[in-house]
A and B are shown apart, each in its own frame.
Chain A
C-alpha cells in the first residue's frame, strides 16, 4: 500500500470512520510503518485485476473493442398498421415499426453523473418479426462505441417505448451523451412510458406497478431463476474486475425478458376496448 493510503487510513480511523477490509498489493520496496498491521487484512479475491480471461461469448459478438452485441429475432403475430396512443398522451397514431423499446442496466440507482449504463437493450418490430438487440460494454472505453451504435438505431421518427424511462433511462443516457460532449439523439423524440398508463389503470388493483407485476398480471409471465435488477450493478463489476461473466449473462437474460414484456404490455393495452 502506498504511503498516502496508509496515512489516510490512519487518519480516517482517528476521525471515527469504520475502516473496513482494505485491499493490499504486493509490498512496495519501501515498507511503510503501518504495513505490518495492514497485512493482517487480506484482499478479497474479486478485487484482483483479471488477466487472461476468456471472451464472454454469451454476450454475442464483439462489435468494437469492449462492445458486444447480442441479437435475437423471433416471430410475432401481425400488428395493426397504426394504433391510437392517446393512452400515452400522444395525439397522432403511431406506426408500430417506428417504435423502439428501450431498457438499460446501470451501475447504480443513485443517479448523477457517476452512473452509467453498461447494457442497453432495444427491440423493434419489423413486419412479423420481433428483433431484440442488446449492447453490453466489457470495458469502460467501450461506452463511446455503444453510444454511437444507439445513435445509429434512432431517427427523428423514432418513438421510444420504456417502463419508467422518462424519469430514468432517457435522462441517464442523455447524461452519458453530454459527458461525451455530444448532443443526445433522444431529446425531442416521442416517448411512450408504459409505467404511467399502467398506473392509471391498475394501481388500485395490484400490490405495485413494477414491470414484473404487470407482466405476471397481464401476460402470465413467470420468470425462473431471474437475477433481481438490484444485483445487476454487482454482476457487471464482477465481470469487470474478476472476469467472471456468469451473473452478467443472467442480467442479459433479465434485460431481454424486460424488453419482450414491454412489447407484450403495449400490445395488451392497444388491444383493450377504449
Chain B
C-alpha cells in the first residue's frame, strides 16, 4: 500500500511555502553548485508492460492478489512464472522496486497449495527475512491460503525449531544458518527436504569474492543433501544490476539459468547527480568533507518538501548527520520529529516502529546505514542522498532505487568522499548510465575454501572414494582429511569419526580461521568490537596503530599474535597511523601471457612476502608526518595468483631519462590500475593488492614520503646494482593464500584496464598528482621535470594497445 502524497510542507523557519519536484530540485542544485556536479543525467521514465494473471494460478492466490491491489502482472513477473513452470532455474536481475518478490512468491505459493511442496528462502539479513515472512503472511491472510511461513535463524527459540522443521511450508533463513545449523542436522529436516521444491536466494550479487565462494560451496552441500532425499530443487535467484547476472547465477548453482533482465514495472524519470565536494586546499588537493555537502543538500531537499533518505557509511556518521538535521528541523520538542535515524544497533522494536512511521509518511528525513539498503518497505521517498560511495555501482543503484513514487520524478545524489575509489567513480557517470562495468566473481574451487566445505560435507553424509563434489573427484581431499584424523576410511567409504562439529570452525566470510579479534579494554571492560583478517592484521593491528572501528578511533595497546587478539582502547589522538610495509614478490609459475602495447602482461602464481617495518604518524587534515614507530611482527608469506605487466629495459631507456622516472611512473601507474581493477571485479577492500618490483624478486619499490619510488633489495635501503637488468614489473595480486579468483578475469580484461587507468589519470583535475589518481605527491614537485601524472601516463601509454 503506498503512502499518500504529502501536502505541501510549510517551512516554519523562514515561513516560505515550498514544494519542488525531484527534477526541479536537481535543476536548482545544478544551477547553484554547477562546478561540484560531475555528472547529471536522467533515466527516462517507462510505461508499464503488463500481462494478465496466469490461468494456472490457483484461484485463492489470484483473489489474494486482487485484494492487495494487484490485478495483473508486470511482464517480467509473467516471464518468471512461465519459466519456473517449465522447470527452469531463473535469475531475476531487474532494478530495485520492480516487484521481484512476486517472481518467486507466486510459484512458491502455488506449489505449496497444489502439491504440498516446501520452499527454502535465503536472505542475507534477518531484517529482510522478517520482512519477507511478513509479506507472505499478509498475502496468506488476504486469501486464506493456509500457507505456514517461518523465519529460522539464530534468534529462533529452541522449542519453536522442531515445529518449524515439521510443519513449515516456507522456511526463511540465511546462508550462515544453512551452513551451520540446518545442513549438519539434516536428518531432523528429513520431511522438509523430501518435499522441497524451490530454493529462493535473494541479493545474489552480494555472494561474490570470498563470501560468494563459500556460499557456492554451501549450495553444493545443499544439493548433495537434497539428492540424498531424492530431490533436485529448483532455484529462483534475484540479483541487483551487475554486468554478468546470468553468468554469476550459473556459477553459484552450477546449473543452466534462464535470465530475466528487463523490467516491466512503470517508473517515473530518475534524475541522478554525481557530486564532488569543492577543493579547499589546492596545493594539497584537499576537498571539503562529503558530510558537509550531504548536510546542505539534505536541508535543501527537506525544505523543498521532498521526502529524503540519506545513506551514511557508518553508524557514527548516521548520528552526526542526524544531529545536524535535527538541529535545523526538530528544535521544537513539542512537535513530532521530522528527522529519524535508522541503524543496526537499535532494538528490533525501535526499528519496526521507525519503519511504520516511515510507511505512514510521518517522517520527512531519514538517515540510515546500509541496514535500509535492502527491501525493507518504508513507503515512498523522493530523494536519496549517498554520503560516500557504497562500494559498488550495483549498491549505488539499489540505494537510488529507494526513491520514486509511481510516475513521479525521483532524484538520487552520490556525494563523493576523498577516497580514491569515490573520486574515480564520481568522475565516470557513464558507469552509472551505461552497462555496468562490474562483474561478480567467485572462486568456488579455491583450495582452502573447498577443503573446509568438503570437511563439512563429510560430516553431513559419508563419501565414497569415487564420488565427486563440485565437479571434482573428491578422493585426494578425503585422504587429506583422513590424515587430519577426522575421517576414517573403511574400504570405499570415508566416514566422520572425530568428536567435533566442523561447521563451527568455518566462517563464510574469511579464508580459513586465523582471524584476529579486536578487544576493547577502555574503562576496564573486555568487549570484542571487531574481527580482522589474518592478512590485514599486520597492517592495521601492530602495537601503536590507530585502528578505526565504525569510524571510531582506537589505539592498539597489545597484540597477541599467537592468540590472535588485539587489545585496544579508545583514543582522542589527532593523527592516524600508516604502516610502512615492504612487499617482495617473486613469480613462481605463469599460466598465460600476451603482449600489452610494447610490453607484456602475464597471469600466474606468485610468492609474496610482506613485512611491516614500522609506521608513520600522520596528522589529520594537514597530512603532516609527525613521527614514526617501530613494529616487530613476523613476515607474512603468501602463494597466490596475480596479474602483472612488464616493459623491457630498452623500451624504458628510450622513454625515460632516468631509471628513477621509470620507477615513479610504475608506481603511479600501479595506483591507477589498482583503482580501476578494484571496480572492475567488484573486489572488497583489501582483496586486491598492488606492488611494483623486479620480476625475479631482486628488488621492489615503495613510495617514500614525497610519493616517489624508493627501491629496496633486502629489507633495508640499499639501492639497485645499476648494471643489473632493469625490468620493473607492476603486480596486482589476490590477497588470499591460493588466490580468490580475481586474477583470471583481470587478465582477460587487461587491455580495458590499461585504457581506463590512462583515462583516470588524464581526466583528474589535479595538476601534478593526487591520492585520487596516482597517489599523494608534494607541492614541491613543481620543480620536477615530469610530474608523477606524466610519468604514470607514459608507462601506461607504453602498455596500451593503441
Contact = CB atoms under 8 A, between A and B. Distances in A.
A6 B777 CA distance: 45
B198 interface: no
Interface string B249-285: 0000000000000000000000000000000000000
Interface in B485-534: 485, 488, 490-491, 493, 495-502, 511-515, 534
Given A15-B534, A17-B513, A107-B497, A141 B491 contact: yes
B469 interface: no
A174 B460 CA distance: 15
B473 to A, nearest CB: 11
A178 B187 contact: yes
A220 interface: no
Interface string A112-133: 1110100000000000000000
B737 A14 contact: yes
Most buried by B among A4, A140, A171, A237: A140
A233 B499 contact: yes
Contacts of A61: none
Interface in A79-113: 107-113
Interface string A161-182: 0000000000100110011000
Contact of A14 (B188, B479, B513, B639): B639
A237 B512 contact: no
A7 to B, nearest CB: 7
A2 B476 contact: yes
Contacts of B491: 141
B490 A141 contact: yes
A23 interface: yes
A31 interface: no
Given A15-B511, A113-B187, A107 B459 contact: no
B64 to A, nearest CB: 36
B593 interface: no
Given A14-B638, A15-B514, A113-B460, A108 B447 contact: no
Contact of A113 (B186, B513, B639): B186
A251 interface: no
Given A4-B477, A107-B497, A178-B190, A114 B639 contact: no
B737 A15 contact: yes
B480 A114 contact: no
Contacts of A11: 447-448, 512, 639, 737-738
B501 A110 contact: yes
Most buried by A among B187, B501, B511, B637: B187
A38 B493 CA distance: 27
Contacts of A175: 187-188
A17 B459 contact: no
Most buried by A among B490, B495, B737: B737
Contacts of A233: 499
Interface in B283-324: none
Contacts of B513: 15-17
Given A113-B460, A175-B188, 14 more contacts: A2-B480, A4-B447, A4-B480, A10-B639, A14-B737, A15-B448, A17-B512, A107-B497, A109-B499, A141-B493, A171-B188, A179-B461, A240-B488, A241-B488
A5 interface: yes
A221 interface: no
Given A17-B513, A17-B514, A114 B488 contact: no
Contacts of A116: 495
Contacts of B502: 114
Contacts of A114: 184, 458-460, 496, 498, 501-502
29 contacts: A5-B483, A10-B639, A10-B737, A11-B512, A11-B738, A12-B512, A12-B737, A14-B737, A15-B512, A16-B512, A16-B534, A17-B514, A23-B485, A47-B485, A107-B497, A107-B498, A107-B499, A108-B500, A111-B501, A112-B185, A113-B187, A114-B184, A114-B458, A139-B490, A141-B491, A171-B188, A174-B187, A234-B499, A240-B488
Most buried by B among A47, A171, A179: A179
Contacts of A15: 448, 511-514, 534, 736-737
Contacts of B736: 15
A269 to B, nearest CB: 26
Interface in B721-758: 736-738
Contacts of A18: 562
B448 A4 contact: no
A145 interface: no
Interface in A222-247: 233-234, 237, 240-241
B368 to A, nearest CB: 35
A17 B447 CA distance: 14
Contact of A140 (B448, B495, B499): B495
**SS class of chain B's interface: helix, strand, loop or mixed?**
mixed
Nearest to A24: B483
B448 A112 contact: no
A114 B485 CA distance: 14
A63 interface: no
Contacts of A140: 488, 490, 493, 495, 497
- Counting from the closest, the 9 A-B pairs by CB-CB distance are A16-B514, A108-B499, A16-B534, A114-B459, A114-B496, A110-B501, A14-B737, A15-B512, A112-B184
B480 A5 contact: yes
A233 B737 CA distance: 34
B637 A237 contact: no
A234 B500 CA distance: 12
A1 interface: yes
A270 interface: no
A23 B639 contact: no
B9 to A, nearest CB: 55
A175 B737 CA distance: 37
A15 B452 CA distance: 13
Nearest to B501: A110
A112 B502 CA distance: 10
Contacts of B490: 139-141
A8 interface: yes
B36 interface: no
B564 interface: yes
Contacts of A2: 476, 479-480
Nearest to A9: B480
A65 B738 CA distance: 44
Nearest to A240: B488
Contacts of A5: 476, 479-480, 483
B23 interface: no
B142 interface: no
A218 interface: no
A185 to B, nearest CB: 15
B30 interface: no
A118 B513 CA distance: 31
A22 interface: yes
Contacts of A16: 512-515, 534, 564
A174 B447 CA distance: 35
B641 to A, nearest CB: 12
Interface string A137-148: 001110000000
Nearest to B477: A4
